[in-house]
Amino acid sequence: MLSSKKEQITIESNIEERNTKEPVCIKNSERFEEMNESGTENKEEKQYLDLVREIIETGEERIDRTGTGTVSVFAPPQLRFDLSSSFPLITTKKVFFRAIVEELLFFVRGETDATILQNKGVKIWDGNGSREYLDSIGLFDRKENDLGPVYGWQWRHFGAKYTSSDADYTGKGYDQLQRVIDTIKNNPSDRRMIISAWNPADMHLMALPPCHMFAQFYVTKPNTKDAELSCQFYQRSCDMGLGVPFNIASYALLTIMIAYVTNLKPGKLIYCMGDAHVYSDHIEALKVQLKRVPYEFPRLKIREHVERIEDFSYEDFEVEGYKSYKKISMKMSV
């Protein structure tokens, strides 16, 4: 257990060193070395890159909902990240950390109006909240940017009746997130510390059914000074180019935030995938990314003392030592 909540949680890089420089093949016969300039290998990012490569090389070509087309594999091996040693922010392209934080805080507060994100410079929900898109899925009476009972609303108000993004849902429905936090504090060996965003009864009201839909939390060595909080989450639909780097960092951050407000150390993040796919118009961009040698993951600090998880703000988080390649542009399929 942490001796004081006022202590900063510092995630320090501790990547295993290797002595060889073994090249890795990709489909178009181009090669890159596994070692970065410091002589270390980021095995955790490499597992993501290896999966992208495998999908491009061996995936099944499929027609998808968006009409873009994908290559896909089903139920690939888990991705695993050690949150005690680093923060898994992909380095082979620049990732917009502020968008990750603001979207997660949007979920944590149970918010559903994408205008809140737009006002903070985060545009990732613009396509699914547009008037044109909402009309295309039959939500003609829905206000533009009202996403419906998505993700965080299910986390905080599962089972309540959704009316609009303007309504006050305080005390309504089942607060899954708070229950997990309370259970970690009071019964850390419990096997029911689960959050589900998948609510079939509300699917027709959602701008987009949840892709990452289910998370379970686990406390290692409960009630000791070495207690750690780990999270395993399941995602039914995994956009390897755009979405997955976001999802890795988002669930890592969620786990760290919950660990902070429950006085635990962060442990492991385990990522389970269903349909893991690369959009056809992302393939060339990802081939560029696959030629890049990952840097070490950065460290994350929480700078302010926070009691309640909904009281976190973007300014409370500081990423240290994030070295990345330039941004790679990929189009979002809606």
| Domain contains 10 | no
Residues 6+ positions from 36 with CB-CB distance below 8 Å: 42, 293, 294, 295, 296
| Domain contains 19 | no
> What per-residue confidence (pLDDT) applies to 304?
82
| Domain contains 149 | yes
User: What is the residue type of 179?
Assistant: R
Reply yes or no on whether 231 is catalytic.
no
| Domain contains 327 | no
> What per-residue confidence (pLDDT) applies to 4?
43
Number of structural domains (the chain) is 1
Catalytic residue among 25, 211, 231, 272: 211
| Domain contains 13 | no
Strand partners, 231: 217, 269
| Domain contains 9 | no
Mean pLDDT by 10 residues, the chain (334 residues): 42 36 38 56 98 98 93 99 98 98 99 98 97 98 98 99 98 99 99 99 98 99 98 99 98 99 98 98 98 98 93 98 97 86
Task: Quote the domain boundaries for residue 297.
Answer: 24-320
